[in-house]
Amino acid sequence: MTADGQLPRWEVFKQDSSNKAHAAVGSVHAADAEHALLMARSVFARRPSAVSMWLAPQWAVHEYTREQLAEALAAPGQQLAAPAHYLVFLKTSDRRTMAAYEHRGEVIASGANDALRAAVPAELPLGVWLVEATAVIATDPADAEPWFAPATDKRYKQQSEYAVSVKPQPAGREGS
Amino acid sequence: MTEVPVAQKAAAFEARIAAGEKIEAGDWMPDDYRRQLIRMIGQHAHSEYVGMLPEGEWIDAAPTLRRKLILVAKVQDEAGHGQYLYHAAETLGATRAEMLDALLEGRAKYSSVFNYPTLSWADVGMIGWLVDGAAIKNQLMLAQCSYGPYSRAMVRICAEETFHHLQGREMILTYASGTPHQRTMAQDALNRWWWPALMMLGPHDADSPNSPQLKAWRVKTKSNDEVRQEFLDEHAPELLAAGLSIPDDDLYYDEETGHWRHGPIDWAEFWRVVKGDGPCNAERLAARRAAHDDGRWVREALAAHAARASDRASE
């Protein structure tokens, strides 16, 4: 348990298909990595669009909105003993979507502020998440089939299974 | 660095909203925007969570394996939707533990509609068609919300909720054209769920004090009455086409406007149910408290296991 009486929070990044990027979909609270993966599958992979998930404990995720970027970019870099590896997620649009922060690459830097300077493109994105790579846990590619296939088999969860039509009667006062 | 005055921050915030930008967790926002969102998202999350109960009671009694699989999947979805929403509220600084305590202690509201009993199997279908049908109209509106995490949770929920709506509609259409007993069962369910479904979209605009500010901030993009009208215009003609009668003598189609009009809603009943005195309020909270208490040993065991593993790792 953490100080606030809850199990630790893990951010969940789901990949919908092999040609798409992992993207932030929400979070789960879980005691350890194994529990977190099971929770994430139950919460975020009840439908077919999932081939891989990454999870990171909340302390390893550094979030910057557009508002916060300017200040963070100007801040002095932290001095770490050794360079660290960060996954970079960018938000580039305000369009209607389920997942706005998408994986765009990796940087190696000596702290989050240095990583930010390395990660942020010249045209400022709407938001940046940096995730400490050593803290990330991932679904095992060898388990992808048994892990995600059951959602695909359950056709009755698809709206296309209920293509029933009903013809509205000519409008009029009911019973008249 | 000089501190930017609040008025200037508020003006910049409102300009962002007007430009259609999404506000994200770390952005500056008015305290009241944050407070209203935590209230709304929390109530919405609790509704998903309590919403598992009325239908969950029927899982054991589902008439076929197919209907049982559908119902299990739907109840699982409601649990998941609650999780998406608790997450969205958490990004604003609320904690899941606080929100859950507020629900279990009866301090938090949730949708009035879940305080009505499910008396027959056809209620499961009617809840899907009407209650989820009404919920989707509201959720499609909230998917356009100015707060990014809430909007994204809504987009995900809408995609899944359509299955809930359509499976209910299919079930009721099947019964409405089935045996006399099935038709009676479908009609009885409609008689009991019609008014609670109309009410669940909230008080009339004139009695909805938070609405103008929420609309100005694009938290809501439509009023309660506008969403209720969309629900009515879709569902009234379909229910009638299915051969069912809607329990409202004043219901009619207004040729001039192209909209259906309903009779007066019993708001005294609505407020009674919202304030805790509906048919099942006590039962619903008791069921949630029992589930929370029964799960305590699992949470404690998980925490103990994780603590021991972490001690071993540090040895």
| pLDDT tens digit sequence for B253-297 | 999 999 999 999 999 999 999 998 999 999 999 999 999 999 999
pLDDT of residue A128: 95
Note whether B266 contacts A: Cβ–Cβ < 8 A. no
pTM for the predicted model, two decimal places? 0.94
Third-level CATH fold of B6-279: Ferritin (1.20.1260)
* Best residue in B3, B9, B22 for a mutation probing chain A (most A CBs within 10 Å): B22
pLDDT of residue A73: 84
Question: Has the ipTM of the complex gone over 0.90?
Answer: yes
The distance of B101 to chain A (nearest Cα, Å) reads 12
pLDDT of residue B220: 95
pLDDT at A170 over 60: no
pLDDT of residue A111: 82
Contacts of B243 (CB under 8 A, 6+ apart): B176, B177, B183
Nearest C-alpha in B relative to A9: B87
Name which of B90, B152, B309 is nearest A32 (Cβ-Cβ).
B309
Note whether B89 contacts A: Cβ–Cβ < 8 A. no
Nearest C-alpha in A relative to B236: A168
Interchain CB distance below 8 Å, B237 and A7: no
- Express each pLDDT in B15-32 by its tens digit: 999 999 999 999 999 999
Name which of A27, A31, A164 is nearest B303 (Cβ-Cβ).
A31
Angle at A158 between CA B74 and CA A156, to 5 degrees: 65
pLDDT of residue B99: 96
What mean pLDDT, rounded, does chain B reach?
Answer: 95
Task: Give B95-163 as a DSSP string.
Answer: -HHHHHHHHHTT-S---GGGGS---STHHHHHIIIIIHHHHHHHHHHHTT-SBHHHHHHHHHHHHHHHH
What mean pLDDT, rounded, does chain A reach?
Answer: 87
Contact B139, B150 (CB under 8 A): no
List A128's β-bridge partners, or say none. A64, A90
pLDDT of residue A81: 60
User: Stretch B160-188: mean pLDDT, rounded?
Assistant: 96
List B254's β-bridge partners, or say none. B259
Provide the angle, in degrees to the nearest 10, between the axes of the packed helices B281-294 and B296-314: 30
Contact B96, A27 (CB under 8 A): no
pLDDT of residue A75: 78
The distance of A34 to chain B (nearest Cα, Å) reads 10
- Express each pLDDT in B92-122 by its tens digit: 999 999 999 999 999 999 999 999 999 999 9
User: Stretch B1-28: mean pLDDT, rounded?
Assistant: 92
pLDDT at A1 over 70: no
DSSP E strands in B179-243: the ranges are: none
- Express each pLDDT in B184-205 by its tens digit: 999 999 999 999 999 999 999 9
pLDDT of residue B78: 97
Could you give phi then psi for residue A110, rounded to 5 degrees? -95, 20
pLDDT of residue A172: 44
The domain locations on chain B are: 6-279
